[in-house]
A and B are shown apart, each in its own frame.
Chain A
Amino acid sequence: MSALERAVRGAKNDLRLHALGVFSVAVAFLCLGATLLAVVNVDHARQRWASLGRASVYLTPRASKEQVAAIERALRASEGVTTVRHVTAEDARRDAAEVGKDALIDALPAEAFPESLEVSVQKDVRPERLEQLAAELRALPAVESVETYGSWSERIESLLAGGVAAATILALVVLAAVVSVVSSTIRLSLQRRKLEVEVLKLVGATEGYVREPFVIEGAAQGALGASFAIVLLGVLYLVVQSHLDQRLVALFGSAPTFLPWPLVLVTVVLGAVLGALAAFWSLRRFVTT
C-alpha cells in the first residue's frame, strides 16, 4: 500500500477532523485571498492611471471660441500630443450620466459640467514633460485648471503600498494559522491512530514510513483549504461584481478583475507546502523510534 493510499485510508477514518481542519485553513486563506484581490485591483487601477498619458484642460466659462481654438491648435502642434478633443459642457454631462447611470446626474444642468479639452499624449511621454505642458496651459487666461492624473497615480500607489503591507502581515498570520491548525489536526489524528503508529514501529517501519501519510494529509489539508478559499472568494467576487460593477468602474476607472491564475496556483501550492511542513514538524517529537 503506497503512502498516498495509507493517507487516504487515514483521512477517511478521521474524515470529520480533517474536514474541520480544511475549513479552518480555508477561512485563513479567504482573508489572505480577499486582501490579495483588493491589492490586485488597486494595482490595476494604478497601472491604468499611470499609463493613461492624458490630461484634461478645464476651460473657464468666459473662454471664447477663438481662445479655445487657439489652445487646441497650439496643443496639436506640441511634441508628443496625439489627439485633442473638445468636450463641451453638454458632452461632459452626457459622459458622466452614461458612466454613472445616475438619474441625479441626468437632472443636473449642463452648466454644472466644465467645458474641457481632453488631450492624449504618446505613452512614452515622461510625466515631467506632461507637467511642464500643464504649467504652460495653466498660465493661459482661458484655462481654469489642468488635471494630468499624476496625483491620482501617486495616491493609488500609496494605497497599494498600504495594501501590500497589509497583505504581507496577513500572509504571516495565515502562515501561523495554517501551521497551527494543521499541526493540531495531525496531532489529534496521530493520537487517534496511536495504535496504528505503535504497531507500524513494532513491525519495523522507519520514521519516514510512519510519517509519510501524515505529511501527505497535512499537504492535502493545506491545498484543499486554499482551494476552497479561492472558490469561495470567486463566488463572493461574482456576487459583488454583479451588484457593484458600474460603481466600481466609475470609482477605479476600470472593471474589477479576479486573482490571476498564477497567483491562484501559488496560493494553493503555498497551502500544500505549509500543510506538509506543519505536519512534518508536528510529528517530529511524536514519531521517534
Chain B
Amino acid sequence: MMETLFYGAAVIALAATLAALTRTNATHALIYMILSLLAVAVIFFLLGAPFAAALEVVIYAGAIMVLFVFVIMMLNLGEEGRARERAWLGGRSWVAPAIIAALLLLEMVLALSHVRDTTSGLMVAPKQVGLTLFGPYVLAVEIASMLLLAGLVGAYHIGRRFIVRRREHH
C-alpha cells in the first residue's frame, strides 16, 4: 500500500510540474509549483529522509516560492501579462524544446536501464544527518554560509532602486 502512495505522489509531482510550466498566469503556475514540491516532500518522507522532507517544505516551498510570490506581486503583470504569455506559448515554439527534452529523457532512461538496486528502507534520522553535517562535511557548511552571505549582499545591491537617469539606454 505504501508503494501506491509513492507512485501516486510521483504522478502528482510530474503532473503538477507540467501544469506549472504551461500556465499563462504566473500566480497559478506558482501554486502548481508548490504542489509539486509538496509531492516531492512526501516522496522524501516515504524514502526514509524526514529531515529532507521537512526542509523541502519549509525552505523550498516556504521560502523560495514565497520569494517568487513577492516578486510576482510586485511586478503586477495583470491581464495583459497573461495575454502576452498566451501569445508566446504559440504553436511553433514547442517543437524544438519538446524534441530536445524528449531525446534527453530517452537518453537518461537508457542510462538508467541497468540500475538494479532498491532503496534500503532504512530511515536516516535528523540526528545522524546533523552529526555527518558537522563532522566530515563541516567545510561544506562554511562554504554554504558564505554563499548565502554573498547571495544576500548581491540581492540587496542589485535590487536597489538606482537613480534612473533621463537618458534612455538602448
Asked if A and B are interacting partners, one says no
A interface residues, Cβ below 8 angstroms from B: none
B interface residues, Cβ below 8 angstroms from A: none
